Amino acid sequence: MTIEKPLVETLTEADAAEELAFLAAELARHDALYHAKDAPEISDADYDALKRRNEAIEARFPELVRDDSPSRKVGAAPSGIFQQIVHARPMLSLDNTFSDEDVRDFVHSVYRFLGVLPDDSIAFTAEPKIDGLSMSLRYENGKLVGAATRGDGTTGENVTANIRTIKEIPQTLPSGVPEIVEVRGEVYMGKSDFLALNEQMTALGRQTYVNPRNTAAGSLRQLDPTVTATRKLRFFAYAWGEMSDMPADTQLGMVKTFETWGFPVNPLMQRFTSIEAIIAHYRNIGLERPDLDYDIDGVVYKVDRLDLQARLGFRSRSPRWATAHKFPAEQAFTTVEKIDIQVGRTGALTPVARLTPITVGGVVVTNATLHNADYIEGIGNNGERIREPDHDIRIGDTVIVQRAGDVIPQVLDVVMEKRESGSVRYEFPKICPVCGSHAVRERNEKTGKLDSVTRCTGGFVCRAQAVEHLKHFVSRNAFDIEGLGAKQVDFFFEAEDEKLWIKTAPDIFTLEKRQGESALTKLENIDGFGKVSVRKLYDAINGRRQVSLQRFIYALGIRHVGETTAKLLARHYGSYTAFADAMQTAGDLSGEGWSDLNSIDGIGEVVARAIVEFYKEPRNLEVVGRLLKEVTPQDAETPIVSSSPVVGKTVVFTGSLEKMTRDEAKAKAESLGAKVAGSVSKKTDIVVAGPGAGSKLEKARELGVQTMDEDEWIALIGG
Ligand code: IVH
């Protein structure tokens, strides 16, 4: 509903004063709803309209500008309400496992990585995975000096004042603790406290909260710590960040130490050495789950010995030494109202079931992915049957949906007794619903099998592909441009005024320039973009004109090139010029460029081909060329270990290693700044050959590459 307001020009001074008072109060109320309660009542556009009206009235009656005028508070940015804290050590996440089989694989992978250890000799801890918010608490000389949320893992929000109101968190530690201590763990709200809070809300006639986790999050994001203090937040310590001294050498030892320092730790944490014992503990915790006064969504297993944890190290986002064994998903029945097709960045057509809304495990589910045409038919990724032959998914079917954690809900099966007699098989589209181009299933060159994905052949012509490409480009792990989310990308892509167009990535960086003279007036006149938000957007864009090579390559959106591959490429080639030049020549499949690309450990032929294809397409080169006029990819960082004798060297391991596993050798070499390749070429610096080495060793000798055995290698890198 919009209420017509009198034109500013027609207001009397008395009207103006009254309205300014109203606007000050109203905007302050919306600020509070937005920032403190995470529950805005109006859209950003309506909020901006109120602000603009306030400014217009003030412009006409400058003498009426109030001390508490919203125009004086422009600094309060939506997400900038808390200061940022850069974590001394990144806060990582955990890999998930879902079945006993996955757990066995995890344990075996630990043994495999470490090699040579006898069965059941590695101890693992098992403890509940608390469904709350992870928190890093920093103590210096025994005093709590800072508390930060996880954020993106590198940078979190400073919520120290709020954390100080949590009684379970010690403000000071006993004497004798290390000078720097960072204790990490989970802030959560007890189930009983959550229910009590909701009863109170109901009694006050206010809206109730959805679940303990969101309520805990909202309570921590209060600007006013006295509000946080009224919420009964709690804490479990289970990990650490920077420590100037290590008080124990096992996971369990560390947690026990935290307990003696006054931190609450979870009583269900135990240590085991056999897979069976770990899984039995998981089942027991599952049985206790309903009676616990806090929400948990699985059990976390961690290698107990810290020296082994150090050897295992990390993948890009998660440690190799831990995994979260999730509890089974929750299920419910509902009906498929229709099936929509979404077209992704690479043209993949994904069918989505629109469901009659249903609550599954406390969350309302309205959509479920149907993956692809085969999945609808009841056929899995490897051609195997995943449902009975006649259980294809149809519009109107009653289905079982499942939701596990944050994963997109799935349709598991069809309830055949409820299928209507007139129902018809779903026919998968043969043309792209967005651009009308043919949609085809490609044939895998190697296996000769049809790909499970149906793909739009429209390429750049397809609006959906272009838009999704842009969304990928600005996403968190790519250019990470704040203020340019999915909604804004849609807006700029569809904008009527050419000056506002963002059709390809380089357009993002010319947006400000294209607004001409009135750089700050053009965009801000559009609903939803205030003066401040426009300036912030331009600043965010300009802040990304320098970007890491890894992010740059990832952002290009080359098929099959995810973050890990982008990182491998960045490390291998070092600079964008080196990478692009190499990709130009790699098109010659008999040349050095192609074999060099394929020699990168972790890059297979399918990926290599996709990269080469990308660089063959003139349109891609044109877009990248324009992008490079605006943006400078930074050369890949050489690791900090400048003293290592193998920095920048390309190493190939071949034959069997006896002192460490191949994975460990590779991780170690990389941590010392070496590049590990899978095959020997002129660019190889060192070949480490163990017993049984064959053609790679021969080739090394032929090319005059330095070779050594495992002991010599260990001596070289200093153990
Ligand atoms: S260990 C390097 N232990 O789960 C790994 N995490 O999915 C550090 N979490 O961000 C995490 N209970 O917020 C660990 N007992 C537990 C946990 C736990 C909950 C959360 C934590 C983390 C997320 C990872």
Does residue 159 have a pLDDT over 70? yes
Distance 469 CA to ligand 1 centre (A): 32
Give the chain's mean pLDDT. 88
Residue 627 reports pLDDT greater than 80: yes
Higher pLDDT, 7 or 181: 181
pLDDT tier at 76 (50, 70, 90 boundaries)?
A: very low
369 near 354, Cβ under 8 Å? no
Q: How far is the CA of 651 from the centre of ligand 1 (A)?
A: 35
| Amino acid, res. 288 | E
Percentage of residues in the chain having pLDDT higher than 70: 93
pLDDT band at 1 (very low <50, low <70, confident <90, very high): very low
| 87, 92, 93: residue to mutate for ligand 1 pocket, most atoms within 8 A of CB | 93
To which H or E segment does residue 125 belong? strand 124-130
Q: Which residue has the tokens 């909202």?
A: 218
H/E stretch holding 110 reads helix 100-114
- Tell me how far apart the alpha carbons of residues 32 and 30 are, in angstroms, rounded to a whole number: 5
Q: Is 322 in the pocket of ligand 1 (CB under 6 A)?
A: yes
pLDDT in tens, 54-75: 888 887 777 777 777 776 653 3
pLDDT at 524 over 90: no
> Which whole number is the average pLDDT over 308-333?
89
* Residue 79 scores a pLDDT above 90: no
pLDDT 10s digits, 279-290? 999 999 998 887
pLDDT(665) > 60? yes
Q: For the domain covering 84-326, report its CATH number.
A: 3.30.470.30
Tens of pLDDT, residue by residue over 556-593, are 999 889 888 999 899 889 899 999 999 989 988 888 88
Q: What is the pLDDT of residue 198?
A: 81
CB of residue 129 inside a 6 A radius of ligand 1: yes
Instruction: Please list the residue range(s) of the chain that carry CATH number 3.30.470.30.
Output: 84-326
Q: How far apart are CA 379 and CA 373, in angstroms?
A: 9
Which residue is it, tokens 């690479």?
Answer: 346
What would the mean pLDDT of 521-542 be, rounded to a whole number? 81
Both tokens of 229, joined, read 């203090």
Tens-place pLDDT, residues 644-663: 888 888 999 988 888 888 78
* Choice from 92, 134, 268, 304 to test ligand 1 binding pocket (greatest atom count within 8 A of CB): 134
Q: What pLDDT does residue 634 have?
A: 95
Does the beta carbon of 269 sit less than 6 angstroms from any atom of ligand 1?
Answer: no
User: So what's the architecture of 16-72 in CATH?
Assistant: Orthogonal Bundle (1.10)
Average pLDDT rounded to a whole number, residues 313-332: 87
As to burial, measured by CB atoms within 10 angstroms (0-12 exposed, 13-18 middle, 19+ buried), residue 329 is middle
Q: Where in the chain is the domain with CATH 1.10.287.610?
A: 16-72
Q: What is the pLDDT of residue 169?
A: 96
Confirm or reject CATH 1.10.150.20 for domain 548-634, answering yes or no: yes
Contact 166, 183 (CB under 8 A): no
Q: What ligand 1 atom has the least distance to the C-alpha of 127? A: 15
Whole-model pTM over 0.75: no
Lowest mean pLDDT among 73-77, 293-297, 606-610: 73-77
Residue 451: pLDDT over 50: yes
Q: Which of 590, 544, 107, 511 is nearest to 323 (CA)?
A: 107
Model pLDDT, residue 304: 98
Whether residue 335 contacts residue 355, with contact meaning beta carbons closer than 8 Å, is answered with yes
Give the pairing of strands 133-140 and 180-189. antiparallel
The rounded distance, in Å, linking the Cα atoms of 339 and 369 is 10
Question: How many whole angstroms from 256 Cα to the centroid of ligand 1?
Answer: 17
Query: What is the full DSSP assignment across 600-628?
Result: BTT--HHHHHHHHHHHH-HHHHHHHHHHH
Q: Report how far ligand 1's centroid is from the alpha carbon of 667 (Å).
A: 23
Atom nearest to 314 CA in ligand 1: 2
Q: Give ranges for CATH 1.10.150.20 in the chain.
A: 548-634
Q: Kindly give the interhelix angle for 212-220 and 191-203, rounded to the nearest 10 degrees.
A: 80
Q: Alpha-carbon torsion 209, 210, 212, 213, what sign?
A: negative
Q: Is the CB of 130 under 6 A from ligand 1?
A: yes
Q: Tell me, using a 6 A CB cutoff, whether residue 434 lines ligand 1.
A: no
CA of 129 to the centre of ligand 1 (A): 6
Ligand 1 centroid–CA 300 distance in Å is 7
pLDDT band at 212 (very low <50, low <70, confident <90, very high): confident
Residue nearest to atom 24 of ligand 1 (CA): 93
Which residue stretches of 631-687 are H helix? 662-671
| Residue 451 buriedness (CB in 10 A; 0-12 / 13-18 / 19+) | middle
pLDDT top residue among 44 and 56: 56
Residues 258, 285: contact at Cβ < 8 Å? no
Per-residue pLDDT, averaged over 618-634, amounts to 95
| Residue 318 scores a pLDDT above 50 | yes
324 lines ligand 1 (CB under 6 A): yes
Going by pLDDT thresholds of 50, 70 and 90, the confidence category of residue 521 is low
Integer angstrom CA distances of residue 438 from 336, 343, 352, 435: 26, 13, 20, 9
Q: Of residues 385 and 79, which shows the higher confidence score?
A: 385
Instruction: State residue 462's pLDDT score.
Output: 93
**Catalytic residue list:** 129
Nearest CA to ligand 1 atom 2: 92
pLDDT of residue 464: 94
Please tell me the distance from the alpha carbon of residue 163 to that of residue 137, in angstroms, as a whole number: 9
Q: Is the CB of 239 under 6 A from ligand 1?
A: yes
| pLDDT given at position 34 | 65
Q: Which residues of 462-496 are buried (b: 16+ CB within 10 A; e: fewer)?
A: bbbbbbbbbbbbbbebbbbbbbbeeebbebbbeee
What are the start and end residues of each CATH 3.40.50.10190 domain in the chain?
A: 650-717
Q: Work out the average pLDDT over 220-229.
A: 83
Report how far ligand 1's centroid is from the alpha carbon of 665 (Å). 28
Task: Give yes or no for residue 186 CB within 6 A of ligand 1.
Answer: yes
- For ligand 1, whether the C-beta of 300 sits within 6 Å is yes
Residue 80, pLDDT above cutoff 70: no
Tens-place pLDDT, residues 398-407: 999 987 655 6
Give the pLDDT confidence score for residue 471 in this predicted structure. Answer: 94
> Among residues 668, 672, 667, which one has the least CA distance to residue 645?
672
Q: Which is more confident, 712 or 56?
A: 712
pLDDT at res. 2:
36
Q: Which string of DSSP letters, residue by residue, matches 534-570?
A: HHHHHHHHHTTSEEEHHHHHHHTT-TT--HHHHHHHH
Question: Does the Cβ of 557 fall within 6 Å of ligand 1?
Answer: no
| Ligand 1 atom at minimum distance from 96 CA | 7
Instruction: Render pLDDT for 327-345 as a digit per residue (tens, 0 to 9).
Output: 887 788 999 999 999 999 9
CATH number, span 650-717? 3.40.50.10190
Least confident of 354-358, 459-463, 526-530: 526-530
pLDDT of residue 655: 87
The fraction of the chain above a pLDDT of 90, given in percent, is 52
Atom of ligand 1 nearest to the CA of 318: 2
- The mean per-residue pLDDT over the stretch 148-160 comes to 89
| Dihedral (CA of 707, 712, 713, 716) sign | negative
User: Which of 509, 431, 433 shows the shortest CA–CA distance to 470?
Assistant: 509
Residue nearest to atom 18 of ligand 1 (CA): 129
How far apart are the CA of 135 and the centre of ligand 1, in A?
A: 10
More confidently predicted of 269 and 693: 269
Q: Ligand 1, residues 91, 149, 184, 186: which to mutate, most atoms within 8 A of Cβ? A: 186
